[in-house]
Amino acid sequence: MTKISTSDISPQPIKWFKNEKPTEWTKTDNITLLAQADLLLFIAQMFAPPSAEMLNMLEIEVPDIKELLQKSGISEQSSLEELFQQIRDQAQIIDLDTWAGEYNRLFETNVACSINETGIIRRDKGVILADIAGFYNAFGFKLSEKATEKADHLTGELEFVALLLVMLAQTQDEEALRTTHHALSSFSFDHLGEWLPTFCERLTENTSLLIYQHLAKLLQGTWTEVVAINSLPIPEGEIMELPEDEGTPYECDMAENAN
């Protein structure tokens, strides 16, 4: 996790381009963005396959999470801090094989709840993937060469949003700020922000493992705060299930429904 040294200044919500002009860009705002990026990256790592390295990461990083939450501008700091601690506590007592088995059941073999956008939103898979690739290419974002996940995997989309937050924190050019924030808004509205809430809900419904129930709440809570602080648009309405013969646009537990 990135360590950020700052003065004891309380982060304030960022106000984007009031009257079509960017507001004053302060150091506090930069730190707020960087802290949010760190939080999303940390959560993304917890959706990787369980491993001894992940256990070690949770043991080392979670005790430092309070400061990161304070710098992030998030209002629900205490509840998110508690969720981080609950995840750490569960990781210390859970059998790694049991954890890995549940990961495979949920996300890989049985796919009880898809962790990919196109597994939940069933419009035109090719169009969705092409649009995501367009975002990634435009900002020089590349998935790791070792990664086996597709571009619409939750971890990839979280990492891309984190990249945009870092870019917003680092650039001073007005046009670049406008372009980057527009991309963040569009990607949130068209992609991650559209399916993340449903993913979190379905994950909670489809697992009895406390660590994933806590992780679903942590992801949803953190994302809601990031959206609010950065004035990102929220898709209207709820995801609705349509009859299969009409081309179901949204789906999570595909394998279960197919059996």
- Which pLDDT score is estimated for 237? 52
Please list, in sequence order, all residues whose beta carbon lies within 8 angstroms of the beta carbon of residue 204, skipping any fewer than 6 positions away: 212, 213, 216, 217
Which tokens is 33 given?
Answer: 């963005």
Say what the pLDDT of residue 149 is. Answer: 76
Q: What is the pLDDT of residue 131?
A: 95
CB 148 within 8 A of CB 129: no
The answer, yes or no, to whether residue 256 has pLDDT greater than 50, is no
- Please provide residue 239's backbone torsions phi and psi, each rounded to the nearest 5 degrees: -65, 125
CA-nearest of 12, 10, 90, 76 to 39 is: 76
Per-residue pLDDT, 146: 60
Assess whether pLDDT exceeds 90 at residue 168: yes
| Of 16-20, 106-110, 216-220, the least confident | 16-20
Q: Examine the pLDDT at 12 and tell me if it is beyond 60.
A: no
Per-residue confidence (pLDDT) for residue 221, from 0 to 100: 97
* Comparison of pLDDT for 249 and 50, the residue scoring more: 50
- State what percent of residues in the chain have pLDDT above 70: 78
pLDDT of amino acid 15: 43
What is the C-alpha to C-alpha distance for residues 80 and 95, in angstroms, rounded to an integer? Answer: 24
- Residue 234 has a pLDDT of 86
User: Does 22 score more than 50 pLDDT?
Assistant: no
Specify the length of the chain in residues: 259
Please report the pLDDT score of residue 239 as a whole number: 45
Residue 13, SS3 per DSSP? coil
**What does the pLDDT read at residue 147?**
59
Residue with more model confidence, 172 or 16: 172
Lowest mean pLDDT of 81-85, 117-121, 251-255, name the range: 251-255
Per-residue model confidence (pLDDT) at position 53: 94
Does the pTM of the predicted model rise above 0.75? Answer: yes
Separation between Cα atoms, residue 131 and residue 191, nearest integer Å? 9
Q: Average pLDDT over the chain, rounded to whole?
A: 82
Q: Which CATH number, 1.10.3720.10, 1.10.357.10, 1.10.3480.10, 3.30.360.10, labels domain 25-258?
A: 1.10.3480.10
Can you tell me the mean pLDDT for 104-121? 94
- Nearby residues of 8 by Cβ (< 8 Å), 6 or more positions away: none
Q: Are 113 and 204 in contact (CB under 8 A)?
A: no
**Is 134's pLDDT higher than 60?**
yes
* Confidence (pLDDT) at 139: 94
